[in-house]
Structure 1
């Protein structure tokens, strides 16, 4: 059996993001070969992620981003609120939101987009499930754009810049000055976060819901 040192375990942890005991076991399985240990962890991680994928992910974060006349919001779920405070999870939500801002809000299409650090959104998500230890899912996304005016965002209970439990986008089609639109948009967005309206007008409401009320 190869002599597995603490330095080797530390090196593998930094390269893989896996836990200390898993890294030590991987190095033992691979007889100290770093590349083989990484492959072992990757295989184990994919299998673990597949098992976790059936568990309910009901917590998480909403990421919002705007750029002039375009805005995007992305919801990524996790099993517990604890994971929503994880730096790795927050970075993922922020990156995917930035990608949605530049591309589209089609979730399946988003999963195939390339991430800044390499790999696709789906691949990085699978890796996060394996390393963080909880099921996570890219639930939904929305992108708004106006030909003139502004898209304004607001995050309620912000946990990090652009990340929180409630995210709102307000698209204002207008020729008014940007500072006016930003102020109005933010006030509207705050009201939306507080009131949680289901539609912009009666015609957009579900008829069954109106009847029930």
Structure 2
């Protein structure tokens, strides 16, 4: 019998299994939803839906470049062990190919991209079922450059951290990679101080001013001197947050700005992803976790 899209959708919602697996299950059971659910459960596919409540705070990031396009994305898992799993790594390869080819606007659009094995969402659901951990696509960013610009990319520890820089000026692959390594290592927030939002600078200025007003050493100093000290304190606070003001990790007491000048290059932008950053990891008692697995 013919299987309808409505039947596939219903089975997917009830089991969390991928579209292709749902269609196979329905075909094998003449469209009977209840029997199809049992069929999926017997094959271990339906268990994916049970893992939605878990916290996926591990995983890997990726950065890939093709012509004037680069992509960064992060796929999370529950444990660090999964990042070495061949199926998990294969999943990242498929996501990479799809996002590079289609340039999705965000992770929601990326999940809807088609591959030979179904959508990215299907692949993730199937991987969740097969691997036995919650797998999720957390974020995706597409970066494009002009013909007169060049990319630098770097992945640390197989993708625990991924960094991308866009540069202009004299193209040099070593310079580009070194700058990407700088971003990965030193985690700047801005290219330079001119990129910091005015309200953030003003907030820091008021904070430093308040501390200075409480400092007896600042009493009776001329207004002009106090203004200079205040500016110095604000600049110092933001120094390590700005890429060009950081100490260059491959140079002896050299700033990134000096290295760029010597290399006849400028940083246009950068992106840095670290796997699991910002995700609150649930602390669990190891003994309780083992017992939960035995009972499960």
Question: SS of the counterpart of 2:114?
Answer: coil
Paired with 1:124 and 1:137, the residues of 2 have a C-alpha distance of 10
Q: Secondary structure at the match of 2:143?
A: strand
Root-mean-square deviation (CA, aligned residues, Å) is: 2.8
Residue 210 to residue 166, structure 1, CA distance change in 2 (3 Å):
farther
Distance 2:203 2:192 in 1: 12
Secondary structure class of the residue paired with 1:93:
helix
Q: What is aligned with 1:140?
A: 139
* Distance in 1, Cα, partners of 2:40 & 2:181: 43
State how far apart, in whole Å, the 1-side matches of 2:152 and 2:119 are.
Answer: 28
- 1:173–1:208 distance in 2 versus 1, CA, 3 Å: closer
2:165 equivalent to 1:170: yes
Instruction: Give the equivalent residue in structure 2 for 1:191.
Output: 182
Summarize the Cα distance change of 1:121–1:207 in structure 2 as closer, same or farther, 3 Å threshold: same
Aligned residues: 171
User: Where does structure 2 lack aligned partners over 5 or more consecutive residues?
Assistant: 1-24, 30-34, 208-236, 238-296
Give the deviation of 1:39 after TM superposition: 6.8
Q: Residue in 2 aligned with 1:65?
A: 64
Q: CA–CA distance in 2 between the matches of 1:210 and 1:200?
A: 19
Q: Aligned pair in 2 of structure 1 residues 118, 199: CA closer, same or farther (>3 Å)?
A: same
CA contact (8 A) 2:153 2:177 kept: yes
- Which deviates the most, 55-64 or 201-210? 201-210
- 1:125 and 1:136 in contact (8 A); partners too: yes
Question: 2:40 is matched with which residue?
Answer: 42
TM-score, normalization: structure 1? 0.70
Q: So what's the TM-score if we normalise by structure 2?
A: 0.52
Residue 207 in structure 1 maps to residue 207 in structure 2: no
Residue segments in structure 1 that go unaligned for 5+ positions in a row:
1-29, 159-163
